[in-house]
Amino acid sequence: MKLSIFTFLFFATIATSCVTAYNATSPCKYSKNEVDDMSGMRVISMDRETAFRRTTMRGPESLEVYVSKINSSTFLTLTSYLLSDVYSVEKGRSVIVKFIDGTTLELENRESSVADYKKLGSSTTQWYASHRITLSKEDAAAFRNKPIQKIRLYSSDGYDDFDIDPKNNQLLMYLCNCVEKG
């Protein structure tokens, strides 16, 4: 009996820690796809997805990706969850995306934010802050057509690199293609 409970807990832990793999042709899961009744604007948004996850000695760190479109403008939000000291993200700071083909794209954060926190137990604090980017038509097209390899986010503490797992390198292709189809 003890062995079966241990086996169940082991596989349940593995199942909940897996990152969903996407490709550019996966069915779209919209959190919103409508015309706003107050403004008349077309609003399309996808669910937040985890593009990167690692476990350190202190606990988990991750990068969430969120893509939305209002009328013809496409927005990318990258939220990092880090086990570091408090940090801030200044307006105008860079985000660099490296694609599988070796090309890079430098994007600019459009607003300032100070990391907020959540407690992970009695002695661990996880800080999180978002980079919010308005994508040009060319930038959005690059994300729709090229898998990503790495994302670098700059903050007041320097930068953090997020190596994207190969099973997740088409996540931004999937999200950007879906909001474009919307």
pTM of the model as a whole? 0.80
Find the mean pLDDT for residues 118-143: 89
**pLDDT confidence tier of residue 50, bands split at 50, 70 and 90:** very high
Quick one: 179 exposed, middle or buried, by C-beta within 10 A (0-12, 13-18, 19+)? buried
Position 67 pLDDT exceeds 90: yes
Question: Cα(145)–Cα(70) distance, rounded to whole angstroms?
Answer: 21
Q: Phi and psi at residue 146, in whole multiples of 5°?
A: -130, 130
Q: Which pLDDT score is estimated for 7? A: 43
Tens of pLDDT, residue by residue over 81-104, are 988 777 788 888 889 999 999 999
Give yes or no for residue 3 having a pLDDT over 70. Answer: no
